[in-house]
A and B are shown apart, each in its own frame.
Chain A
Amino acid sequence: MRSALATLGGTLPRPRWRRPEGWTIVTLLIAGVLSLPILVIFAHVFVPASEVWLHLRQTVLQDYVVNSLILMLGVGVGVLLIGVSTAWLVSMCDFPGRRAFEWALLLPLAMPGYIIAYTYTGMLDFAGPVQTQIRDLTGWGYGDYWFPEIRSLSGAIAMLTLVLYPYVYLLSRAAFLEQSICVLEVSRTLGSSPWAGFRRVALPLARPAIITGLSLALMETLADYGTVQYFGIPTFTTGIFRTWFGMADPGAAAQLAALMMTFVLVLIVLERYSRRRARFHHTSARYSRLPRYRLKGWARTGALVACLLPIVLGFVVPSSQLTQWAMKTTHMWLQPQFLGLVWNSVSLAAIAAVLAVFLSLIMAYGKRLESSRTTNAAVRIAGMGYAIPGTVIAVGIMLPFAWVDNTIDSFMRDTFGISTGLLLSGTLVALVFAYCVRFLAVSLNTVEAGLGKIKPSMDDAARSLGSAPRTVLWHVHMPIMRGSILTALLLVFVDILKELPATLILRPFNFNTLAVRAFELASDERLADSASAAMAIVLAGIIPVILISRTISRSRPGHDTPA
């Protein structure tokens, strides 16, 4: 898909008087501003390595690297297995409940990672109800029996897999649905079994989408702080916090962050290299109704279990625990402020989501028009915020914002004798900006994927008919990629709803969101009291999640029945 874009420079007739330099400049400008916090953090790398760094290398660095790698590997395998298999089952097979699974499989997306970690710990911990029951029934004591330890590395892998597989599911399902059935039919006339058709045709064709989903899940895994911190697992993120705040050494913390980012870079480069010049947009635009494989007997049971399990474990179980807690603490959600929290969360998430997608559209289109090394690199760096913990991003935003504010203030004081104070810091503008930096990757990847599927000949045709680039984007591309844009909007919306660390530190006075409330109570170990706010996040997230699913079902060209 992206390589297809790379070849674009050669195919687009670009008359000199319409050379879209404006787009390139705007793209670079947006990318530059959004990269600012990331660059501010990285500037710390050039602080000479302190003795703290030496100390880290001698003691804990190895743990950080090994644990983070295992975590990424485990979550990677987990989300691929669950995400791709369920996406294939609901897109290509027919079995009872398929329609419901289509959207229900997305539900765990609404569940913040740290909250699922709290609920499972509450249930499965040694002192929790499940193990207490076992001991009461059997009379065993500590050490007499084996029970999986939830607060461990494998526990963290399980928790993150359960809430992150929907990214892979979402993107691979969209890819499977968009595949022209011709290629699959060709493979079947050539004698392929359904399995071979999946393995040798559908899967390779869907690869860019699957990889995009995987990289989103892995970046989120790297940036996770809540879960690993609660489980007491030393990883890069917990290490960054300790070094920055416990040892008061931002330089060494940034060096840790930089090391962590190289993981992401290596992944991206590897994936790029493996794809090289392959192209993924379809040559045929002829779609017919998908003939689904009808599953029978064991295959049917297997499919049912495969789809049911992630939903039950990733959504039903944790939300029933939350509901149970919330029922015990009705006084928490009967407060009048509670509605205010909901309003703050939802409106802020909506505004920032619109802005993030808008910026992504401009950048993705700018890249399509003029795909140079500079634009590609700039866009890539701007998208890295997704792999950086929210608190670190927040610090990266505070520094330049306060600098701008203080500079303007000094200037105004010196020249006019008036103080302008802080214009941006501590306002919602800073917060919305933080969300854009942090979640740009989500909207950018989704929008780029949508744009990549549009054949370059469309651009050629529209442009040769005299349309300006902006008109092409608005009147040709956007209607075609409506599904991708809506998906991007909703994904970012849900992500912001769950976002915590940046909100916590950048928000203005007396401004609370659901995530802030849920976290404050949970961090004081008042899990039951935090449940109502957590439940509200989940509920507010469900609606967009269902909308996403409907959009995708409808996105298939030629689809004639509403899902």
Chain B
Amino acid sequence: MIQRPITALASLTVAAVTALTLPLPLFANDEVNVYSARQEALIKPLMDEFTEETGIRVNIVSARADTLLQRLRSEGRNTPADVLITVDAGNLHNAKEAGVLRPVDSEVLKEAIPESLRDPEGYWYGLSMRARPIMYVTGEVDPEQLSTYEALADEQWQQRICIRSSSNVYNQSLVASMIIANGEEETEEWARGLVANMAQPPRGGDRDQIRAAVAGVCDIAIANTYYLGQMLNSDDDTERATAEAISVFWPNQEGRGAHVNVSGAGLITHTENVDNAVKLLEFMASDRAQQWYAEANQEYPVKPGVEWSDTLSELGDFKPDAVNLGQLGEYNAEAVRLMDRANWR
């Protein structure tokens, strides 16, 4: 029997941990490290193409946007990350405010990405766009009756609207955009009206709202376009049939336009790997990458001239809200509190 079993056990554990840690990347020159709030499955194929094209390897950690920001903050100047990829303008704005991003001055990026979809000072660039329109069950709603987000608080929609929880950042951004357009007081009143019109307490994700609407719980669902697009291209027959029963109405076309948001990326303040990191950003704004985003994930390319996927084209052209997306982030906390007060679960 081993004489000092506890010591033996301890050293065994340490050895095992070390063995597991060793195969970590050693941060060679031809690498770029990415913290991504987009799931690996959604960016990995694109990163692989980048590696193939440039020979630069991409290392990824994916996690929730807010926790990644926390990690960047606590790691400070020693963070191994070079690039932050995240979803929702609110998160991009928070990252900028927290000081973890540095401005990038790239003609390629500026040329590819419209002004409203990037930070005015170049701290972050939008890389793909999604819209949050009104979706309705074809035949159950006369599109003539639909007009704006604001009008969803009207009495005629009582018990007819499905929308997810206010804990979700997409709803937070939507409400933030309304605070910017209409002010806090009016938006709070609107939120109360919307809550009164909900057919069920908010639960589940965006797809669940679409499914609930088609199953007959409600007539209107608020959801992001790529969810509908993915359902329309699903391998599952029921899923496809559900999505096909839905029509999209583009709200506020007479006014500010439909609410849109982006996924985007920026350079980490303390990175010393600027060249590779900028190369990666520029690659993601290239025609090829933009096309891939559109086809694989049913998102709108941010680069003008890149073709939309067939599914998205069928949803129709629309006027997007031109508010600079950075502003949405500034109003995020206010939006959350407003929804608390309006009893939007």
Contacts and interface: CB of A to CB of B under 8 A. Distances in A.
Interface string B102-126: 0000000000000000000000000
A504 B64 contact: yes
A362 B9 CA distance: 12
A248 B204 contact: no
B203 A232 contact: yes
A432 B17 contact: yes
A505 B25 contact: no
B167 A238 contact: yes
A422 B9 contact: no
* B9, B208, B340 interface centre (most CB from chain A within 10 Å): B340
Contact of B217 (A126, A429, A508): A126
A242 B167 contact: yes
B340 A525 contact: no
A421 B78 contact: yes
B167 A229 contact: yes
Q: A interface, how many residues as a size bin?
A: 35 or more
Interface stretch (A347-355, A440-448, A552-560): A347-355
B298 to A, nearest CB: 12
Contacts of A126: 212, 215-217
Nearest to A231: B203
A189 interface: no
A360 to B, nearest CB: 13
A248 B70 CA distance: 11
A405 B78 contact: yes
Nearest to B169: A246
Interface string B194-208: 000000011111111
Contacts, number: 181
A512 B62 CA distance: 9
Interface residues of B, number: 67
A448 B40 CA distance: 41
B29 to A, nearest CB: 16
Nearest to A242: B167
A504 B66 CA distance: 12
A125 interface: yes
Nearest to A59: B340
A247 B216 contact: no
Interface stretch (B248-256, B259-267, B310-318, B329-337): B329-337
A241 interface: yes
B164 interface: yes
Contact of B332 (A56, A246, A474, A528): A246
A427 B17 CA distance: 10
Contacts of A116: none
Contacts of A232: 164-165, 167, 201-204, 345
Given A59-B340, A508-B24, A509-B25, A425 B61 contact: no
Given A232-B203, A425-B75, A525-B206, A505 B64 contact: yes
Interface string A346-379: 0110010011001000100000000000000000
Nearest to A503: B63
B151 interface: no
Interface string A198-242: 000000000000000000000000000000011110100010011
Interface of B: 5-6, 9-10, 12-13, 16-17, 20-21, 24-25, 33, 39-42, 59-64, 66-68, 70-71, 74-80, 94, 164-165, 167, 169, 172, 201-208, 211-212, 214-217, 227, 230, 235-236, 242, 332-333, 336-337, 340-341, 345
* Pairs A-B, 9 closest by C-beta atoms: A232-B203, A245-B66, A127-B211, A509-B59, A127-B215, A402-B74, A520-B39, A142-B216, A151-B203
Given A351-B16, A523-B39, 17 more contacts: A55-B340, A59-B341, A125-B211, A142-B216, A244-B66, A348-B20, A406-B76, A406-B78, A421-B78, A422-B78, A422-B79, A505-B63, A505-B71, A509-B61, A509-B80, A510-B59, A525-B205
